[in-house]
Amino acid sequence: MIKYFLNITYIIASYLLITSCASPSTPTGGPRDTIPPVLINSIPFNQSLNYKGKSITLEFDERITTDKIKDQLIITPLTASEYEYTIKKNALKITFEEPFSDSTTYSLNFRESIQDITEGNPTDDNKFTFSTGSYIDSMSITGYVKELLTYDTLENVIIGLYRAQDTITIFDGSPYYFTEIQEDGSYLIENIKNGKYLLYAFIDANKNLQLETNKEAHAFSKDTILLDTGRYTKNLDLIHLDLTEFKVMTALASGKYFDINFNKYIYDYDILPINNDHIFVSNKAKENKSIRIYNNFAAADSLQLAFAATDSINSLLTDTLYVQFSDSRRKPDDLLIDVAPKTRSSINPDFHVEINFNKPIVSYNLDSIFVRYDTTKISQVSDTTFQWFKYRDRLSFEVSIDRTLIDTIEAQKKRIAEAKKDSVQNLPKDDNPKQQISTKEKKSTPKMNQGLQLYFGQGAFYSADNDTSTSFGNSYKFIDPTDFGIQDIEVSTNYKSYNIQLLKENFEIVQEKSNEKTFSLTNLEPGKYKIRVLIDANNDGVWSPGNMHEQIEPEPVYIYPDVIVIRADWQTSLTLSF
């Protein structure tokens, strides 16, 4: 009986041990799956010829899923046919509503849309090609795309080829062949049919494969590209320009003014009287989208004028109209004045001043513009260097300090150091000098003259609205050269006309030089800088951003590849070659 019981106990224990070992459980540890799915079969085969079907099936070596396939899948040439897709375990099937075009090579770039179901590893076999004809088209185009004025690589950039014979453009249709740039700014379009094409690039933030004329950066090749042998290389430079058609929105009296309102930024304009000799006083207003005409009419009658205006891409708009003012109780805009350098800036004894006004200045009172060194020392500003810009809402001039009224920085430093030395030498030898300088002695130590004030008295400027400026002043301190750095630059180039810009890291312009071969940038605050060169290739005196409507490419831009590091009391040099 005991033997029988032991046998039964042994059988039950063995059964429990076996069933316990056989029970499923979640495995722990082990290496993570990093191997992507591998394509093992397809219908049709990759690189197939004479394919007449409407579906494509891809079979992988493991279970798959998709991630935003309709956003990521690029099909070229572009097809208008809609498609549906299904996934069954390790196979993806795409079915198109319409048949493919005859004698055409199609490329499907899935990018990272096909992934394994466990870890989301995207397949390496992300491009699939077949032909409905007897051969695979073999033309290709490659290159790099960057932002012209910064050399940055941008996101969501589409590079597209448009068939030269088509009427579809970048503004109203999608490219025939296209791709998206890689992280390094490179692009490659393969399996292109022999032919002539127009090449464009644009930021496609809204994913509609069309350029939004007033929002998205763009680039283009002005020449038609013939693809008939091998691989073609073309780099493109993106630029942000408003390509909207330039037009007048309204022209009407507005309070005290008559405004000609445009739909976009005005770069420049001219006004001429018609059948009268009136001199129109005007300037740009409303964020430079309006020409504002001021009421200096002798009578209430209307006067006719002609205007010619250009926008940022040099599109010209001309028209004629009548100007007539209405009675209005609305007060004119306040006279606003912006002076550079800003108050509390550091300056040299000779410095440049630029003043911007929000309306034209018809006269000024020179007696109310002067430099004040202290309460007793002042000097009059000379108007011999006054330069009024086109619309008389901008004034620049030079200020030269009267050195008989002020010490130089070096002389003041020397005078103060000598005074302190004399004070210490007159103390008892066995006393602590720091503790023995009396309040009276401290007050007798000469002080360095810290700067000056550029002062504008009441009524210094008289505007087209018959109002005058209030009194104001900007205070400045003199530059101590030891607090700043110097950058010497030598230029090696065959270009005759160019503008060299020293920029902060955020691309804010610090200093500029034009058409000089050897020069120094002085009084630079310590920090990191960039150098950009705008090249006026056609020597017309102005760098042009181009105009896609007229197939005019932007003029070249060169950015020095290294960061410029400026240190206090240091002088460095470099050579610009472009």
**Which tens digit of pLDDT belongs to each residue from 306-345?**
999 999 999 999 999 999 998 888 999 999 999 999 999 9
* Predicted confidence (pLDDT) at residue 28 exceeds the cutoff of 80: no
Max CA pair span of the chain: 136
Q: For 396-406, what is the mean pLDDT?
A: 82
Contact by Cβ (8 Å): 369, 355 = no
Distance CA 359, CA 293 (A): 10
> Residue 451: which pLDDT band, with cuts at 50, 70 and 90?
confident
Of 124-128, 275-279, 447-451, which gets the smallest average pLDDT? 447-451
Q: For 99-125, what is the mean pLDDT?
A: 93
Residue 213's pLDDT is 81
* Predicted confidence (pLDDT) at residue 127 exceeds the cutoff of 90: yes
pTM of the model: 0.79
Of 10-24, 67-81, 350-364, 476-490, which gets the smallest average pLDDT? 10-24
* Predicted confidence (pLDDT) at residue 408 exceeds the cutoff of 60: no
Q: For 116-140, what is the mean pLDDT?
A: 94
Q: For 120-147, what is the mean pLDDT?
A: 95
Choose among 507, 486, 489, 485: nearest CA to 498: 489
Q: For 373-385, what is the mean pLDDT?
A: 87
The backbone region for 30, taken as left when phi is positive above 0, alpha when psi lies in -120 to 50, beta otherwise, is left
Residue 126's pLDDT is 87
Distance CA 16, CA 187 (A): 64
Determine what percent of the chain is predicted with pLDDT higher than 70: 86
State the average pLDDT for the chain. Answer: 88
Residue 418's pLDDT is 65
Choose among 131, 119, 122: nearest CA to 49: 131
| Partner residues linked to 489 by β-bridges | 519, 574
Q: For 257-275, what is the mean pLDDT?
A: 96
Q: For 37-58, what is the mean pLDDT?
A: 96
Contact by Cβ (8 Å): 502, 510 = yes
> Residue 426: which pLDDT band, with cuts at 50, 70 and 90?
low
* Predicted confidence (pLDDT) at residue 215 exceeds the cutoff of 50: yes
* Predicted confidence (pLDDT) at residue 514 exceeds the cutoff of 70: yes
Helices (H), 184-327: none
